[in-house]
Amino acid sequence: MSRRHRSVNGRSAAAPRKKFSNASLILLGLILGLAGALYYAWVVAPVVYVDASPSRLSDEHKAEYIFLVSQSYAINEDWPLAQQRLAGLDDPAAVQTVTSLLETYVREQRPSDHIANLAVLARQLGGEAPVIALFAPTPLADEPPTATATITPPSPPAATPSPTPQPTITPRPTVTAVPTSIPDPTAQPTYRLLNQQQLCADDASTPQIEVVTLDALLEPLPGIEVLVTWDGGRDRFFTGFKPAQGEGYGDFAMTPDTSYTVTLADGSPEISGLRIESCDNGEISGWRLTFQNLILQPESPEP
Amino acid sequence: MSVSFFIIFMALLQKLLLLILGLALGIGLGLYLGWVAWPTEFTDANPSILVENYRQDYAHMVADAYAGDGDLTAAQQRIASLGGNSQAFLLSVTLDAILLGQNEAEIRRLVRLSADLGLSSPAFGPYLSVDGDAP
């Protein structure tokens, strides 16, 4: 009796009505529907793209796509086609993307031709990162006109050695030099010249030939024998004996009116015609040569 | 009593309808958000989703890369990533290139890849008989 009375009593029935008002019911339905629909749309039946452009590819496949563009460009040298392909990625920062991929390839020690092709692609896109300049260097013809040295094919070293004129290297026991070897003129160079720079020192120090040797991954490479020849003389030194200057650094003092030729004993282009010259600021200059080893070594050396 | 029951029934029905209305609105909004505004970002979308001309171009690039590095296993995997009957697709791309008289060097690279993957066609003959820039 009292229950029935309560059920029809307006005061008692108002409680559930307040608890579930019209607005709260719509809101409850909205939330439930929204949650269910999002689960369905994102998990059960997500959008499947078909007839898509490369911009829809996963990051992994985008990287593969860029790699294929670089390989194809290396083969056909069709730059407009390569640009058109890259445009399909719809990536406004394509230069950074390609450069980043190049750095990844270097870290992963991918084959050198893959790295070089990717670097060329990045360079063509206008990339200016150091890694691009090192793996896809601009031809020496574009160097400043003050550079007078030329690259000539390898030739056997001078047959008659002569005494060292001005030794400047102080050997330190921390670095072990590799045995002397005679370059084979018929072999492919193990090193390539990455950079040739005229050094215009502000102080009155003796002009010198500075050589920096790097491995394929651009890390300093000590213990590399450098051969220096000049008219009537020959000398050699090793990189790595001046760690303060860098582990791959070595230098050789120059004398006036002498033309030097530098090559690496393990095989590199001969850099000839290196002589003391005057800089724009009136100082006399030496030269810095940077060589890169072309052979990628495995990450962990074999026992 | 029957009037009271009817009133209660109508009140419940009204609430049920409001709940259904909310659900419908929520479902509509959810599907719009999930399929249009914020669709799922795929993390494994492969070249099989590409539109036809991009798939063909992808096959061309795979052939170019194979001409460069000679890595048949990698080339096979790349062609397979195009999905479906990828070998038949490569064959059709190669034959299209021949029939459309595309760049001969490009045709030669496609033919070389197709032949090395075990595909064959009488149309391949002229492009296999002369040494080109094949790997």
Tens of pLDDT, residue by residue over A195-250, are: 888 887 666 578 889 999 988 777 888 888 899 999 888 888 888 878 788 888 98
Q: Is residue A169 very low, low, confident or very high in pLDDT (cuts 50, 70, 90)?
A: very low
Q: Does residue A125 register a pLDDT over 70? A: yes
Q: Does residue A70 register a pLDDT over 50? A: yes
**Among A residues 141-180, those touching chain B with beta carbons less than 8 Å apart:** none
Does A114 touch chain B if contact means CB atoms closer than 8 Å? yes
For chains A and B, CB pairs below 8 A equal 165
Does A87 touch chain B if contact means CB atoms closer than 8 Å? no
The string of DSSP letters for A209-278 reads EEEEEE-TTS-B--S-EEEEEETTEEEEEETTS-GGG-TTEEEEE--TT--EEEEETT---EEEEE--EE
Q: Does residue A163 register a pLDDT over 60? A: no
Task: Write down the mean pLDDT value for chain B.
Answer: 88
Instruction: Return the domain boundaries, chain B.
Output: 1-41, 47-128
| Contact at CB, A53 and B54, closer than 8 angstroms | yes
| Contact at CB, A54 and B81, closer than 8 angstroms | no
Does A21 touch chain B if contact means CB atoms closer than 8 Å? no
| pLDDT average, residue stretch B81-107 | 92
| Contact at CB, A68 and B64, closer than 8 angstroms | yes
Set of chain A residues whose Cβ sits within 8 Å of the Cβ of B81: 61
Q: Write down the pLDDT at residue A164.
A: 40
Chain B nearest-CA residue for A88: B54
Cα distance from N-terminal residue to C-terminal residue, chain A: 96
Q: Does residue A159 register a pLDDT over 60? A: no
Q: Does residue A299 register a pLDDT over 50? A: no
Contact B53, A69 (CB under 8 A): no
Q: Write down the pLDDT at residue B130.
A: 55
Alpha-carbon span A128 to A122, nearest angstrom: 8
The string of DSSP letters for A22-83 reads HHHHHHHHHHHHHHHHHHIIIIIS-----SB-GGGS-HHHHHHHHHHHHHHHHHH--HHHHH
Contact A66, A89 (CB under 8 A): yes
Domains and CATH numbers, chain A: 2-44 (no CATH), 54-135 (no CATH), 141-293 (2.60.40)
Please count the residues of chain B.
Answer: 135
| Contact at CB, A49 and B49, closer than 8 angstroms | yes
Task: Give the three-state DSSP class for A145.
Answer: coil
Per-residue pLDDT tens for A81-117?
A: 999 999 999 899 999 999 999 989 988 888 888 988 9
| Contact at CB, A58 and B42, closer than 8 angstroms | yes
Chain B nearest-CA residue for A23: B18
| Contact at CB, A35 and B26, closer than 8 angstroms | yes
Per-residue pLDDT tens for B39-80?
A: 876 656 889 888 889 999 999 999 999 999 899 999 999 999
| pLDDT average, residue stretch A8-12 | 46
Please state the φ and ψ torsions of residue A171, each to the nearest 5 degrees: -65, 140
> Cβ contacts of residue B10 below 8 Å, gap of 6+?
none
